[in-house]
Amino acid sequence: MPWTVADRLAAPAAVLPAPHLVVPAGTDLFAAARAWYDGARWLLSPDDAHAAALPVVATGARFRGARTETPLVVARLELAAGVVVDGPLTPGGPAAAVAVAHAGLRPDVDTYRLPDDPTAAAWATAAARHVGGVVVIGGQVLVPRPHDALVRLTAYAPNPAGLADVASLLRTALPSARPVRTTAATTDAADALRHDLDYDGAVVVRTGEADAVMPPALRAVDWRRVGPHTCTVTWLSPNPDDDPGSLDLMSLRRAAPWLVRAARALRDGLGGTLLDADGFVADDATLGALAAAR
């Protein structure tokens, strides 16, 4: 489950009956679902729900004139078998009001009711981070930290690359990177590159191979820009034994440009595609927004 650094909870609000995901209006939530779930599908699409909810005018003697009825129909997005997200809800209800009031979202939002499922909650948090939304759970507004998506950036490339090749690609992005051994191997051969950031931790780069099943988010990428050979850029906190706090966030903010430069250099040099720590494709616009987030 791709959780990253602990998310923060904002001020408490009115208790709500179910967890909700609140995102900017018009967000393509289906694309976010497909990034995690291969089998995600609309049981009832928003367009079909809208058509089914058109007002119906009832006439005749029994109605004592014309009466307009609007059926309540909500779209249903199935993430996995039996795991269904309802929405967008019209109107957004208390969750939307809570999110706007406590998380600074613009009033024009879409609200989705989440199932009581731990994996769905993790997905909703990752999706909220990816699209600039929030999750409202039990009267709390959970605001995912944007920078947390940068703690691990992985390039999936069509061709393998050795550590020497990677070092060459990173010569400008991480000028002080040095070969290190990070595992208890039987040899002294280096298996990673490490670039220290003084008080802000370090950037570690490793090569490897993808799992047999590729991340779902890569299915929507041009096959020529995807492969089973991985190169991962990881941020190491300067306080790995402490609970994540404001100092870690400050360090991560300062480390962000280094992480982004290294990931871009690897992606471009290897001809691959980047996924962030939450498993979403990280293009240049996404990387720029994450690096500049506050």
Write the pLDDT tens digit of every residue in 71-128. 578 999 999 999 999 999 988 788 999 899 888 899 999 999 999 999 999 999 999 9
Among left, alpha and beta (phi > 0; psi -120 to 50; other), residue 128 is alpha
**For residue 64, is pLDDT > 80?**
no
Number of Cβ atoms within 10 Å of the Cβ of 138: 12
Reported residue count of the chain is 294
d(CA 143, CA 133): 8
Buried b (16+ CB within 10 A) or exposed e, 260-280: bbbbbbbbebbebbbbbbbbb
**For residue 9, is pLDDT > 60?**
no
Q: Are the beta carbons of 226 and 156 closer than 8 angstroms?
A: yes
**For residue 235, is pLDDT > 50?**
yes
d(CA 214, CA 114): 26
Number of Cβ atoms within 10 Å of the Cβ of 26: 10
pTM of the model: 0.85
Residue for token pair 């291969």? 38
In whole angstroms, what separates CA 279 from the centre of its chain?
6
For residues 56 and 116, the model is more confident at 116
**What mean pLDDT comes out for the span 128-144?**
91
Q: Does residue 21 sit in helix, strand or coil? A: strand
Q: Residue 267: its pLDDT value, please?
A: 97
Q: Residue 43: its pLDDT value, please?
A: 97
Write out the DSSP string of 143-164: E--GGGGGSEEEEEESS---HH
Query: All domains of the chain, ordered by start, with CATH?
Result: 8-144 (no CATH), 148-292 (3.30.1400)
Confidence band for 212, pLDDT divided at 50, 70 and 90: confident
Distant-in-sequence, close-in-space partners of 271: CB < 8 Å, separation ≥ 6: 157, 158, 159, 224, 225
Q: Are the beta carbons of 136 and 154 closer than 8 angstroms?
A: no
Q: Residue 136: its pLDDT value, please?
A: 94
